[in-house]
């Protein structure tokens, strides 16, 4: 792997770890105010998916000896846009942003920022990342496999989230 690849993968992993810290802090804050967690049974599959995602990229790149792989600037630009979108989602939801489904009863849904335009913008961003990140590394098998696995998990996650939000919030989603 090239130096830029190691730097980028290190950056992404660190970013995800920081997000988990933010999510845990937000989880404690919401639960202290009566927040209710839903979808616990499927949450672990998202964790497994993301761990396997990074391992798959690393294995695929190391097996294929990508020591001369050039940075694709179009893919990198899309990656940067996705990161800006991710930050926008996290910032918009503030303390309500989480990697888990946690709802705070009797609180109105946030319908500003990207949520004004798309119901689940973070899921769209993650789907883009699950394709673009492997493409940046030349890990084409991972670029096809993980977005498909993500879609399968979202077929469980989104209905669970919609149901939890509809029951708990002031405004129906």
What whole-number percentage of the chain has pLDDT above 70? 98
User: What value does the mean pLDDT take over residues 130-141?
Assistant: 96
Answer yes or no: is pLDDT of 38 > 60.
yes
- Section 116-138 average pLDDT: 96
CB 165 within 8 A of CB 111: no
- Of 61, 74, 81, the closest CA to residue 2 belongs to 61
Question: Any bridge partners for residue 103, and if so which?
Answer: 36
pTM of the model: 0.91
Average pLDDT over residues 47-67: 92
Nearest 5°: phi and psi at 66?
-90, 35
Spell out a b/e string for 54-86, using b for 16 or more CB atoms within 10 Å of the CB, else e.
bebbbebbeeeebeebeeeeebeebbeebeebb
Tokens representing 97? 């942003």
138 Cβ partners below 8 Å, 6+ apart? 61, 64, 66, 69
pLDDT in tens, 65-96: 877 789 999 999 999 999 999 999 999 999 99
Distance CA 151, CA 144 (A): 11
All structural domains of the chain, each given as residue ranges with its CATH number in brackets, are: 3-168 (1.20.120.1630)
CA 12-17-22 angle, 5° bins: 120
Name the token pair of 142. Answer: 């991972």
């Amino acid at each position: 792997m090239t130096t830029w690849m190691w730097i980028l993968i290190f950056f992404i992993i660190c970013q995800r770890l920081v997000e988990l810290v933010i999510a845990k802090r937000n989880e404690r804050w919401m639960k202290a105010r009566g927040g209710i967690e839903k979808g616990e049974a499927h949450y672990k599959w998202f964790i497994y998916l993301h761990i396997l995602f990074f391992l798959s990229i690393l294995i695929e790149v190391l097996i294929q000896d990508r020591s001369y792989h050039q940075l694709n600037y179009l893919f990198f630009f899309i990656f940067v846009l996705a990161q800006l979108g991710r930050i926008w989602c996290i910032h918009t939801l503030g303390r309500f942003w989480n990697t888990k489904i946690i709802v705070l009863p009797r609180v109105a849904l946030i319908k500003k920022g990207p949520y004004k335009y798309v119901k689940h913008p973070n899921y769209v961003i993650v789907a883009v990342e699950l394709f673009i990140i492997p493409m940046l590394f030349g890990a084409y098998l991972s670029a096809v496999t993980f977005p498909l696995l993500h879609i399968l998990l979202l077929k469980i996650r989104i209905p669970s989230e919609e149901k939890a939000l509809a029951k708990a919030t002031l405004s129906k989603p």
